[in-house]
A = this chain, B = another copy of it.
Amino acid sequence: MRKTKILKNPPAFISYASAAGYEEHRGPLGCKFDFHDETDLFGSDSWEKAEGELAHTVLSLALKKGGISEQDVEVLFAGDLQNQCVASSSGLYNFGIPYLGLYGACSTCTEALLLSSLYLETSEGDTIAAAVTSSHYCAAERQFRTPLEYGGQRTPTAQWTATAAGAFLLGRKESGVRITEIMPGKMIDSGICDASNMGAAMAPAAADSVFALFSDEKHDISSFDRIVTGDLGDTGSFFLHELLSKDGIDIRDKHEDCGLLLYDRNAQDVHSGASGCGCSASVLAAHYLPMLEKRELKKILFMSTGALMSPSSVQQRIPIFGICPAVVIESD
């Protein structure tokens, strides 16, 4: 059975930032983002380049907020949803920070935090690692589904890829908010081949990670103030609760899903909720970390969910594999 790795030198969040687009700024967390752009273009002339600018903006902000120079950052873990993760490479190359590119679909934020923590676990002194993830609604729609101009009808289970990004600088700090445990995700085949039903495709992987965590006697649901999933949305959250109930686990009192926090589903036409690499990243940076810093929360389980698929794999009827890495975040 999978277990979390307890970090001997749990790294602290030295700085972090969030940035978002129009629809995200209109949502319930709108006023919490460090930056937003009403045009969703972030000064660029294409949606793909806009996402690169978004990633660039959010890391610039995190560096600025922390008073940290890019030369002081030893390594950068980043990823996004664009083919070959070009938003991360084109947006972040000119910081000149040694780079390790990741692809974990919408779980990439937690994957990047996990690997940054691992890097710092083997580093001494004042090493700083950066973790950046982004997504862009318009870039994702034309890559994964259809260009927006096509006006395709969306199904009720479909989710809205967030135009959003989060950047995190991790390192040593006397006191603060830390990542104390990490656990990679396991790919789970839920048999779903429908690219408009990501929630159902990811829920079994989230359930598997929750189950692995709480099968380990060192964890107790009551010790977490929140159990936060990335972007299961309404459909996926329902299935997560159903799947866990079969094992007698009830997390409903503690569970929140970033995909259900980002938009007001009554006022915004986002169907099952938000998704995208930038969803959990921006919600962590804008919503949860400030609460942990203010000690309104003491300890959360943070688990971005990812659906591993491509348009080709869906066309070829290869199942969509869910994955859900986890990190434990605590304030001390």
- Choose among B83, B111, B310 the residue that contacts A311 (Cβ–Cβ < 8 A): B83
Task: Contact check, A101 vs B104: say whether CB atoms are below 8 A apart.
Answer: yes
Q: Does A170 contact B (CB under 8 A)?
A: no
Q: Does A118 contact B (CB under 8 A)?
A: yes
Q: Does A121 contact B (CB under 8 A)?
A: yes
- Choose among B49, B86, B99, B309 the residue that contacts A186 (Cβ–Cβ < 8 A): B99
Q: How many residues of A contact B (CB 8 A)?
A: 59
- Choose among B46, B84, B184 the residue that contacts A83 (Cβ–Cβ < 8 A): B84
Determine the residue in chain B with the shortest Cβ distance to A184: B98
Q: In the complex, A308 Cα to B93 Cα: how many Å?
A: 10
**B-chain residues with CB within 8 Å of residue A75 when the two chains form the complex:** 184
Asked if A184 meets B99 with Cβ closer than 8 Å, knowing A90-B318, A121-B122, the reply is yes
Q: Which positions 1-53 of chain A face chain B at CB distance < 8 Å?
A: 2, 5, 7-8, 46, 48-49, 52
Determine the residue in chain B with the shortest Cβ distance to A104: B101
Determine the residue in chain B with the shortest Cβ distance to A93: B187
Task: Contact check, A103 vs B122: say whether CB atoms are below 8 A apart.
Answer: no
Q: Hey, what's the 0/1 contact readout for A157-191 against B, CB within 8 Å counting as 1?
A: 00000000000000000000000000111111100
- Choose among B82, B310, B321 the residue that contacts A310 (Cβ–Cβ < 8 A): B82
**B-chain residues with CB within 8 Å of residue A187 when the two chains form the complex:** 89, 92-93, 96, 99
For this chain, the copies found in one complex come to 2
Q: In the complex, A79 Cα to B103 Cα: how many Å?
A: 8
Task: Contact check, B104 vs A100: say whether CB atoms are below 8 A apart.
Answer: yes
Tell which of A2, A185, A189, A313 has the most Cβ of chain B within 10 Å. A313
Q: In the complex, A189 Cα to B323 Cα: how many Å?
A: 33
Task: Contact check, A85 vs B103: say whether CB atoms are below 8 A apart.
Answer: yes
Q: In the complex, A186 Cα to B100 Cα: how many Å?
A: 9
Q: How far is the CB of A143 from chain B (nearest CB, A)?
A: 8
Determine the residue in chain B with the shortest Cβ distance to A75: B184
- Choose among B5, B83, B96, B321 the residue that contacts A122 (Cβ–Cβ < 8 A): B5
Supply 11 A–B pairs (Cβ within 8 Å), ascending by A: A46-B316, A83-B312, A86-B313, A86-B318, A93-B308, A99-B187, A100-B102, A101-B103, A101-B104, A115-B115, A115-B118
Q: A82-B312, A84-B105, A121-B122 are in contact. List 15 more A-B contacts (CB 8 A).
A: A46-B316, A83-B311, A84-B308, A84-B309, A86-B309, A86-B313, A90-B313, A90-B319, A98-B185, A99-B187, A100-B104, A100-B115, A115-B118, A118-B119, A143-B312
